[in-house]
Amino acid sequence: MSLPPILRIPTGRRPRAASPAAAFTVVELLVSVTILTLVLTLLLGVVSRVSNLWSLSSARIDAFQNARFAFQTLSRQLSRATLNPYLGYDNDANPQRYLRKSELKFFCGPAGADQAPGQAHCGTALFFIAPAGRTDEPASYGALESLLNVCGYYVDFTTDPDRPPHVASSPHRYRLMQRVRQTEHLAMESADNTPWYLWKDPENHSLAENIIALIIRPQDPAATPADLTVDYRYDSALNATASPQPPHANRLPPVLALTLIAIDEASARRLDDGAREPTLIANLLRNRFALASEYEKDLEDVRAGLDGAGISCRIFSGSIPIREATR
């Protein structure tokens, strides 16, 4: 009897068993995961480092933006300083010689010395006359942009004079202060012989925070050395009637070399000691910028001291030609 076709066993070669499907072993998977983890770790480290660098750079740009603005503002105002000098007789009743005269004045000298305002050892206090257009009656005279004003700049360690009334307090910081005397109160003499750059109820503003030093060097590029003073002092009214008349009498310096030293807010917060001046900054600046011939050394010493203490700083410097002095 023959078997049904479905049960019939084919003759010839026997069928081979199917080979198992190709696959990764456990060891291969572990090696792959390890390599991937290392690559991702390195990639995340690079991304984090770039992100931190970007954030730090942005923060530093923002931190010194006000200092840069202050430097530009002061440079612009200095370039417009005026004395309007003229030649006149030494004595109208009995004239003997001509003198260079002026009703206006220019003064710079160490801050905190000789009644000059500002924090001692924070560089120079500077006062001059410029057409700033500031008036007590802006509604009537605001369009007269060439009105003369006394303008003063110096560094002080103080709270913010522009603090809004609703803000309870502001931290003590080194600030570049701007003092302005309106046209209506412009006067070069006082009844009690008070220096002309000191007056009651001045209009004070903080031009920029965290400016630890302002250094002004009166210069004449045609002279050797270029510095016109030994100790940063320049007073256009000093010995102005002497015979012979000194070169600086009633005359503006041709160039003012301007330097601002700024630190960032993060460093200022780290140094914050309430109303007391930070010891580190005070010690770095003390006995500096006393002699113009030591300017480069003093500046480098301050920079090195700030860097060594981990204080982020920026130095802004430039030479400002005085328009009237070069005419």
Q: Report the predicted TM-score, pTM, of the whole model to 2 decimal places.
A: 0.79
Residue 210 lies in a domain: yes
Report pLDDT digits (tens) over 126-179: 999 999 888 888 877 777 878 898 999 999 999 988 888 787 778 999 999 999
The residues, any chain, with a CB within 8 Å of residue 88's CB and separated by 6 or more, are 98, 99, 101
Residue 14 lies in a domain: no
Report pLDDT digits (tens) over 88-136: 988 888 888 889 999 999 999 999 887 889 999 999 999 999 998 888 8
Q: Which domain holds residue 35?
A: 27-63
Residue 17 lies in a domain: no
Verify that 167 and 261 share a domain, yes or no: yes
Q: In total, how many domains does the chain have?
A: 2
Verify that 116 and 200 share a domain, yes or no: yes
- Ranking 18-27, 83-92, 257-266 by mean pLDDT, the lowest is 18-27
Verify that 33 and 90 share a domain, yes or no: no
Verify that 68 and 49 share a domain, yes or no: no
Verify that 148 and 37 share a domain, yes or no: no
Verify that 45 and 91 share a domain, yes or no: no
Verify that 69 and 215 share a domain, yes or no: yes
Verify that 123 and 35 share a domain, yes or no: no
Cα–Cα nearest to 111, from 66, 162, 160, 176: 176
State the residue for tokens 């000191």.
Answer: 198
Verify that 38 and 167 share a domain, yes or no: no
